[in-house]
Amino acid sequence: MLSAGALIWVSLRPLIRLVICAGCGFVITRADIFPPAASAGAGQIIINVTLPCLMFSKIVPSFTSDNIGALGPLVLVAILYELIGITIAWIVKQLFWVPHRFRYGILTAGGWGNYGDIPTSVILSITGSVPFSGVDDQNLSVAYVAAFILVFFVTLFPLGGHKWIAMDYGGPEVEDEEIREELRLKQKAILNWPMKFIRRTRHRSQGKEFPEPKDIETPIRDEKSGNSTMCYEASSPLPSPAQFAMNGRKHVSFYADGATTAVPTEVMHSQVCSPAATDVAASRMVSPTASVTHVGDTLPQTTLLALHTVSSPAPLSPAPRTRLGSALALLRTFVVSLVQPASSSIILAFPIALVPTLKALFVADVPGTHIPNAPDGQPPLAFVMDTTQFIGAASVPLGLVLLGSALARLNVPRNQWGSLPLGAISALAVGKTLIMPVLGVLICEGLVKVGVIDVEDKVLRFVCIFFSCLPTATTQVFLTQVYSGTGSAEHLSAFLIPQYILMFISMVALTAYTLQLLF
How far is it, in rounded angstroms, from Cα 338 to Cα 162? 15
pLDDT, one tens digit per residue, over 249-260 is 434 433 334 444
User: For residue 428, what pLDDT is reported?
Assistant: 97
Could you tell me what percent of the chain has a pLDDT over 90? 45
384 pLDDT more than 60: yes
484 pLDDT more than 90: no
How far is it, in rounded angstroms, from Cα 253 to Cα 277? 14
Residues 6+ apart with CB under 8 A from 188: none
User: For residue 188, what pLDDT is reported?
Assistant: 77
How far is it, in rounded angstroms, from Cα 266 to Cα 268? 6
The candidate with the shortest Cα–Cα distance to 16, out of 150, 122, 110, 99, is 122
User: For residue 319, what pLDDT is reported?
Assistant: 58
Question: Please, are residues 73 and 447 in contact by the beta-carbon 8 Å criterion?
Answer: yes
Question: Please, are residues 464 and 453 in contact by the beta-carbon 8 Å criterion?
Answer: yes
236 pLDDT more than 50: no
Which H, E and C letters describe 420-462, residue by residue?
CCHHHHHHHHHHHHHHHHHHHHHHHHHHHHCCCCCCCCHHHHH
DSSP string, 33-86: -S-HHHHHHHHHHIIIIIHHHHHHHHHHHH--TTTGGGHHHHHHHHHHHHHHHH
Q: Three-class SS of residue 161?
A: coil
Question: Please, are residues 62 and 71 in contact by the beta-carbon 8 Å criterion?
Answer: no
Q: What end-to-end distance do the CA atoms of the chain give, in Å?
A: 6
- Across the range 322-327, mean pLDDT stands at 82
User: For residue 232, what pLDDT is reported?
Assistant: 42
How far is it, in rounded angstroms, from Cα 154 to Cα 116? 14
Provide the CB-side half-sphere exposure for 369 (13 A, CA): 18
478 pLDDT more than 70: yes
Provide the CB-side half-sphere exposure for 340 (13 A, CA): 19
Band of the pLDDT at 412, cuts 50, 70, 90?
A: low
**CB-based burial of residue 429 (10 Å sphere; 0-12 exposed, 13-18 middle, 19+ buried)?**
buried
pLDDT, one tens digit per residue, over 117-156 is 899 999 999 998 888 988 889 999 999 999 999 999 889 9
User: For residue 53, what pLDDT is reported?
Assistant: 94
pLDDT, one tens digit per residue, over 326-383 is 788 878 878 887 888 888 999 999 999 999 999 999 999 898 888 899 999 999 999 9
pLDDT, one tens digit per residue, over 73-94 is 999 999 999 999 999 999 999 9
User: For residue 265, what pLDDT is reported?
Assistant: 38
Of 17-26, 109-118, 221-230, 347-356, the poorest mean pLDDT is in 221-230
How far is it, in rounded angstroms, from Cα 270 to Cα 134? 78
**Domains along the sequence of the chain with CATH:** 4-173+340-408+422-518 (1.20.1530), 212-311 (no CATH)
How far is it, in rounded angstroms, from Cα 254 to Cα 230? 20
User: For residue 419, what pLDDT is reported?
Assistant: 78
User: For residue 268, what pLDDT is reported?
Assistant: 38
pLDDT, one tens digit per residue, over 194-211 is 777 777 777 677 665 555
Provide the CB-side half-sphere exposure for 323 (13 A, CA): 0
User: For residue 211, what pLDDT is reported?
Assistant: 56
Band of the pLDDT at 7, cuts 50, 70, 90?
A: confident
35 pLDDT more than 80: yes
Neighbours of 180 (CB within 10 A): 13
User: For residue 499, what pLDDT is reported?
Assistant: 95
